[in-house]
Amino acid sequence: MAKKVKDFTWKPNMTVNELVDSFGNLGYQAIELSEAAKVVLKMKRSGSKVFLTFTSNMVTTGLRGFFAQLCKMKIPNILVTTSGAIEEDIMKSFGEAFEISNFHADDTALHERGENRVGNLVIRSESYMKFEDKMTEYLTKIYEKKKRLPVSELLYELGLLLDDENSILYQAAKNNIPIYCPGIADSSFGFQLFMFQQKHDDFIVDTIKDMERVVTDLSFDDKKGLISLGGSISKHYAIFAALLSGGFDYAVYMTTSSPQSGSMSGATTQEAKSWGKLKDDAQAATVKGDVCITFPLMMMNVMDNMKEEGMLE
């Protein structure tokens, strides 16, 4: 029997959980968001290994602390991200604050003031200068322990050096959640690795070694789930790893991209099935919209239900 559209009405003290549940009969992307919450809940009920992938622009936002909290609660088992996310997490860990601007700011004036715009947010050039000083300090300590290491191990060691409950690196290291960053060179963080290597040519960050780790960590017997925020290399690295062990059983994509250009960021869950990245019978949902809105709504619904079912303390 076909589901019916139901009118949405406000009621006093309505919870986020109730709101997202009501989305299932509302329409358009609200239905997809409600479905996505159900898929993530099924991932957790099934005991799946859960990949959470996200791009650096999400760490620029206040989602950074939420990602760290999810790691503390051990909701994802594996993270995949981009290099900018690492540097911005480190910047915030030693107290750098990013500012709110607007999408129509005078960018020439911002540049003259040493401010760099990401959408309607601003990162000061001074933050990068402080980051460079910290990186020299951190890399020297890591170098004294080990000269050659895969990216995931480098990020683990960095996490151990941080002291910030809201840091993704800190919480991932503390809770033994590996962070994969295949595009490590593409940022100020990568440049600092390059500069450090100029003085220490025996210091090697091995990006290929992580492929061995992520592939051998998964098996055909594992249930596997994916929450992909945005796309690009972080999304593809996860789904390629899963492809080699039979594909994902569950997947949620949250993106603003469309499939018309053939890009990885816009590629649909259906397209992924053609590659075997998702199983033929995988349960999947795609939500189009800004993850600053969609992801917290979905996860609050999931976490409320997990708590109710005794899966969260």
- Crossing angle (nearest 10°) for helices 16-23 and 291-308: 110
The encoded tokens of residue 90 equal 């480190």
Q: List residues with catalytic annotation.
A: 277
Helix, strand, coil percentages, rounded to 5, for the chain? 50, 15, 35
| Contact partners, residue 112, CB within 8 Å, separation at least 6 | none
Distance CA(218)–CA(112), nearest Å, equals 49
Burial-class residue 19 by CB neighbours within 10 Å (0-12, 13-18, 19+).
middle
| Contact partners, residue 46, CB within 8 Å, separation at least 6 | 223, 225, 249, 250
Distance CA(172)–CA(184), nearest Å, equals 17
> 121 forms bridges with which residues in the sheet?
100, 118
Distance CA(169)–CA(148), nearest Å, equals 20
Our CA angle for 104, 167, 125, nearest 5°, is: 40
Burial-class residue 198 by CB neighbours within 10 Å (0-12, 13-18, 19+).
exposed
- Crossing angle (nearest 10°) for helices 188-199 and 125-145: 50
In angstroms, the Cα distances linking 12 to 9, 19, 20, 25, 146 are 10, 12, 16, 20, 57
